[in-house]
Each structure stands twice: as C-alpha cells, then as structure tokens.
Amino acid sequence: MAWILLALLIVVLAGGGYLYWKKVQAEEKLRADLWVLQREEKALFDFLNQFGQRMTSGTDTGPAMDLIVSFAQEATTADAAGLFVRDKGGRTLRARVVSGLFPPFHEVTSDRLFSKRKYVAEMVKREVIEVGEGVIGRVAVTGRPLLVADASKDERIPKPDISGLAVKDLLAVPLNVRDENLGVLVLVNKREGPPFNEADESLITAVARQASVTLDLIRLHRDKQERQRLEQELELARTFQALLLPRRTPSYPNIRLAGAYRPALEIGGDYYDFIPIDDRYLGIAVGDVAGKGVPGALIMAAVRAALRAEARLSLSPREVLQRVNTVAREDTKDSVFITMTYGVLDTETGRFRFCRAGHEPVICCPGDGKGIVSYLPEGIALGIVEGETFGITEEQEIDLSSERTAILYTDGIVEAMNARSEEYGEMRFHRQVQQHASGSPEELLEAILGDVGKFVRDRDQHDDITIVVINWTGEAKSQQAPQTDETGVSTTA
C-alpha cells in the first residue's frame, strides 16, 4: 500500500513538474514574442522619426531610399545591403542604393573585381535584373520574403570566387503596396550573433511595409506634380498655338472661307492661315509638322513667321515656299520636316494657284456635288532638301469659277481611326464633301468633322485635324465635267 501511495506521489509530482515546465516555456515564448513586437514597434517608431527629420520636403526618392537601406542594415547588423527598384515598365530591377561590400548577383571573374573592389557598388548598380530572374527577381515576382540562414547549402545563392564577397546568409524582403511590387530590399552577411532569423525577417518585413507606403506616397506626389507641370506647359502651348491661327476669317464679295483646327490630346504641329497680300490677293496655307508636343508647335510658329514675311513679296507660291524652305532647312534638325499646301487666291476671278510641299492633295467639288477632283502637283516637304533640289516643286492652278469648292486639309482627317484600328479614309471623306458641297463652308466643315467624330467614337484622337474650305459664290463658268473613275474621283497631276 505504501508503494502505491509513493508511486502516485511520484506521478503527481512529475505531472506538476511537466505542467510547470510547459508554463515556463509558454511564458518564455510570450516574452520572446513580446520582445519581437516591442523591437518591431521601436524600430518602426525610430524609422518614422528619422524619416520625418530627413524628409521635410521634396519629391526625390533618393534620400528615402538611403534611409531605408541604412536603417535596415543597422537594425539587423548586416554587413551589406541593397535596395533594388523596378523600372517604370516593371520588367527589370536595378540597385538604386548599395551599402557595404554587396556581392554581385551575377557571374564575375576574380581578375575583373579583385583589383577594383572599391568599384563593386557601381558594378552592382549597373546590373540589370529581369523580374523573375535569380533570387532578387523571384522575390519581386512572389512578393514573399526569402530567408537563407546558410547560403553555402543553397544553390539559388551566387557564389563568387572572390575573397570577401561570399554570401554566408541572406534576407530578401519585397517592397509591396496595393498589390504592386516596387522592389526588393536585400541584406547579406549578418555581422553579430546568429545568422538572419525569423525575428529579423519579421522586423525588416514591417520596416519594408512602411517604407513601401512611404515610397509610394512620394512617387504619387511626384507624379502629381509632374502632371500639373505638364498640364501647365500644355495649356501654355495650346494658348500659344491658338495665337498662330487666324483671328478672323477674311470676307470677299465672291468668296466664302472657313477653317477649322481640332487638336489631338497632345499639342501637335498642324496649322492653317489666311494671309492678306493686298486688296485682291489672299495667301492660304495648311501645314503639318512631323512631330508633336511643344517643339512641333514652336517649329510651326517659326515657319508661319517666315511664310507671312515671304508671302507679301511674291504672288508665286513656288517662290514663296522656296524661301520658306531655306529657313526651315537652316533652323530645324535633319529629322524634322513640314508638309504644307500654300496657294494664292485671286478673289476677283476665283483662280487659286498653289504648291503642294509633300502635303495632302487639294480636292475640288462642283456645286452640284457630282464628282471629286484631286490635284496632286509634284512637291517635297519643307526642311528636307536644299533649294535647288526643292525646285522640282510645281505650281498648279484651279479655276474656282468652275470647280466652285476647294478643300485643303491635313492627314488627321483621312487617318482618323476607330476602335477597330480602321481608318476613316478618303472615300468617306469625299462622300461627305459631295453630300454637303452645296451648303456653306461652315456647314461643310461641321458635316465632315461630325462624321469623323461618329466614326472614331470613343477612341482618343491621335492626330490633329485641320481643314480649310474655299467656296466661290460668283458666276459659274460652264465647263465640261472631268472624266472620273468608278469612285467618282478625278486625279489631276
């Protein structure tokens, strides 16, 4: 009986000891977890405090990235650290910040580096890493941290045969925000204590999470400022370009005129102008710079100034364009050229003499809308060749007393595209001209632009649209209708 009681006592004591041991373990785990949480909380507080002191203003992400790397390196006592950031396309990563002797994550011969170890950081920064490639690229894709306590046993870790650049342990943490990966923070070779562990991973993950939000806010703020700056520049350019267009449309007893310009989303280089030469003759121009944005508008402004100066010196469109070509050739780059149709209208007789410098044809339509005639005299765009070669440009004359309506336009009309990437085309354009040629120039413009808008629908306009209509209202000259093809279009070279 005594033995039984003793055995029971031993069992009770053993059970109690086991329970006490489990309690002690649980308390130690709680203390360890609490220490980790307190460490993370302090680290985040210190990080935000340092960030607030250093980043008082500005939209440059450089200081923020420097702070992220230095703080992570100090918090984990890592020997080296690097912050790899995705490019704008999101397909590659580059090291924006490198601290310490960070090993290159690609094969490098020892002869190349041994004598230039101080240039290791620059070499790492030049390295381009494809997203999904290697350790860093895979962390960017998965969006999950990678902890390697013993790199010598991990085949994924590069092992350069260079003293001092071997990777012993590694911690790579993604910088994620709103389901988007901004880059990867990499720490290598812990100097003190055991290799990188889960506590380090938890700490750096928390720091990286806050750093990602910070970098994203800076990026959004910078992008907003850039958009505002571009919008201001575009608005200034639009205002400037609007000043290039005619302030009023001239009026003559036998001539009705109308012009329209519809810019694309970006500022382009389209232009039209009415240039009074004297009481009888009127210069009319439609042009298109091969280029968009503010530079295109500035080039067209220079060409407009030259054209207006030269137009009053000669009634020959060919002579005028030859002189303007000289200016364009001298003042623009080789890659820039300007197409233009320029003509001189005799407002008393309705004769329109013009040159086509690599531009769209001039089309004409009689008042009854029966048939379209396209005029295509030879001509080279402005700014491409020297004066003598430009001399092949031909003049051609249209008698509006028989043709009634002439139209000058840029390729933005016929090349307008819908959502299926189909072009508006010449046939639709000519059909609208024929259907509405009997109306006023303003009505014809409205019909054409409205039809183009219906065709394009919700697709953004990718090119400027410019069109000028010249309509003769005087007595009609009887003339046999030109021979036309099956589309109803007659082409005159």
Q: What domain range is 170 assigned to?
A: 55-223
Same domain, 258 and 114: no
383/403 Cα distance (integer angstroms): 32
DSSP character for 483? P
Same domain, 289 and 192: no
Main-chain dihedrals φ then ψ at residue 261, nearest 5 degrees: -135, 125
pLDDT value of position 311: 94
Same domain, 219 and 251: no
Same domain, 264 and 217: no
283/165 Cα distance (integer angstroms): 74
Same domain, 129 and 260: no
pLDDT value of position 376: 93
Q: Is residue 111 part of a domain?
A: yes
Angle between helices 2-54 and 198-244 (to 10 degrees): 30
Domain boundary among the residues 184, 208, 223 is at 223
Same domain, 200 and 262: no
CATH classification of the domain holding 278:
3.60.40.10
Domain boundary among the residues 223, 254, 289 is at 223
C-beta atoms surrounding 361 within 10 Å:
21
Same domain, 121 and 265: no
Give the residues of the chain that fall short of pLDDT 50: 33, 36, 56-57, 111, 113-115, 478-488
pLDDT value of position 426: 93
Tell me if residue 94 falls in helix, strand or coil: strand
Contact 76, 196 (CB under 8 A): yes
pLDDT value of position 291: 65
Q: Is residue 13 part of a domain?
A: no
Among 69, 43, 65, which Cα is nearest to 55's? Answer: 65
The residue type at 183: G
Same domain, 217 and 342: no
37/208 Cα distance (integer angstroms): 15
23/440 Cα distance (integer angstroms): 97
Q: Is residue 15 part of a domain?
A: no
Name, in order, each residue with C-beta under 8 angstroms of 353's C-beta and a sequence gap of 6 or more. 315, 316, 317, 343, 344, 346, 395, 396, 397, 398
Q: Is residue 129 part of a domain?
A: yes
Same domain, 165 and 254: no
Same domain, 153 and 299: no
269 burial (CB, 10 Å; 0-12 / 13-18 / 19+) is: buried
In whole angstroms, how far apart are CA 490 and each of 163, 202, 224, 375, 466? 81, 78, 53, 9, 23
Main-chain dihedrals φ then ψ at residue 68, nearest 5 degrees: -60, -45
Q: Is residue 454 part of a domain?
A: yes
Contact 303, 320 (CB under 8 A): no
Position of tokens 């070779």? 189
pLDDT tens across 22-59, in order? Answer: 555 555 555 554 554 555 555 555 555 555 555 544 55
pLDDT value of position 341: 97
pLDDT value of position 444: 94
Same domain, 360 and 218: no
Q: Is residue 398 part of a domain?
A: yes
CATH classification of the domain holding 160:
3.30.450.40
pLDDT tens across 181-235, in order? Answer: 999 999 999 988 889 988 889 888 888 888 888 788 877 877 788 788 777 777 7
Contact 416, 465 (CB under 8 A): yes
Same domain, 328 and 431: yes
Q: Is residue 25 part of a domain?
A: no
Contact 365, 429 (CB under 8 A): no
Q: Is residue 32 part of a domain?
A: no
Domain boundary among the residues 188, 223, 258 is at 223
Structurally, the chain folds into a number of domains equal to 2
